Amino acid sequence: MKKIPKVLNVIMRPLDNICNLYCKYCNIQHKYRRNAFEKKPSEKFTALWKWFPCLLEQLNGISKIANVTFTWHGGEPLLMPQNEFKRICEAQDFYLRRKNLDWLNVIQTNGLLLSDDKIDFLKDLGIKIGVSIDGPGYSHNKFRFRNRGDFAMVKNNIYLLRDKDIPFSICIVVHEHNYRDAKRVFEFISDINPGNGVAISPMFVSAERYIQPAKYEKFLRDLFDEWYKKPGVSVGVFENFIMGLYGKAPVLCYFAGRCNSFININSKGEIFGTCEPGKRFRIGKLTVDPLEGVLRRNTNMFLSISSKAKSKIMCESLGYDPKYKYFIGNCCPNRLVSNEDPYME
């Protein structure tokens, strides 16, 4: 019988792709007309309550799950009214407290809608904040922002988080406009000092403006040189790689072989076995399919992906040494090309 992960990461997309930005490298936006990103999200977040209690009730009933992280994603999750987040936290407390389940809420935002009051509100609810930005200059963020005004606002909001001593995280996408500038990027993240660390991803080969693996490698090498000289900033990819080399289980899914611990739920309550929805990875629907069975199918799907991909990624170049077991596979399917992950070589 396929295992159910003890630690579950639920990516919540109650607004689907509704957003207040129109990032050029978004791998969703090309499927939608511009007005699809600007329409009112009210119909979406009201639909959440048709299946969210069902999700919580089933999480409460699966004994093997000990910890759940709800990552509120989009689109832009802060387009939801503040009172909806209060309702969400109250529902979680009602359903999950009975099991003494540990849970955490994280909002991954583009940062435009952050404000003094909103930051305090999220802090009071215990909701963590992650902000997406690709470097300190507008030139680093040309794929993300349509104008310098939006960029300046987000950057100011990041410094507001820092000045209010709110732990937050930063998500950086590496692409043609920033891969040569790792030194400035590191100086920026060192200055803002995101207490919950930095996540770094390449612009995947599935995206129209993907970055070549060699350029991504250059960025990581250059960034590592800066980080090694000043390691106070938590950069997940470096810390997890070192953990794996020393025989400790990394946290990042693509190092630790735990991609099956992630599920993605859209506004209709449909469940997908990857970080972004796609018909190929649809594994069930809340109110229709029992969650426990869905999680077992998710594990089975990633075991299948891993068996095809593991001979072509990092462990091969490391000589299949048993001490490098954490670099063997279960790679995110969005990164695979012909069952190979070019960014893990």
Q: Which of 318 and 92 is assigned the larger pLDDT?
A: 92
CB 135 within 8 A of CB 151: no
Domain boundaries, the chain: 7-309
What is the per-residue pLDDT for 32? 46
Predicted pLDDT of residue 129: 98
pLDDT band at 27 (very low <50, low <70, confident <90, very high): low
Most confident listed range (21-25, 166-170, 208-212, 304-308): 166-170
Whole-number pLDDT of residue 70? 98
Rama region for 100: left / alpha / beta (φ>0; ψ in -120 to 50; rest):
left
Residue 139 neighbours by CB under 8 Å, 6+ apart: 177
Gap between the Cα atoms of 79 and 289, Å rounded: 29
Residues 36 and 334 sit within 8 Å (Cβ to Cβ): no
| pLDDT above 70 (res 341) | no
In contact, 255 and 326? CB cutoff 8 Å? yes
Higher per-residue confidence, 160 vs 208? 160
Q: What is the pLDDT of residues 148-157, one digit of tens each?
A: 999 999 999 9
Confidence at residue 35, expressed as pLDDT on a 0 to 100 scale: 47
Domain spanning 7-309: which superfamily? Aldolase class I (3.20.20.70)
Could you report the per-residue pLDDT of 99-145, keeping only the tens digit for each? 778 999 999 999 999 999 999 999 999 999 999 999 999 999 989 99
Residue 314: name the closest of 239, 274, 254 by CA.
254
The pLDDT-based confidence of 323 (bands split at 50, 70, 90) is low
Comparing 102-106, 134-138, 261-265, 319-323, which segment has the lowest mean pLDDT? 319-323
Tell me the pLDDT band of 255, cut-offs 50, 70 and 90. confident
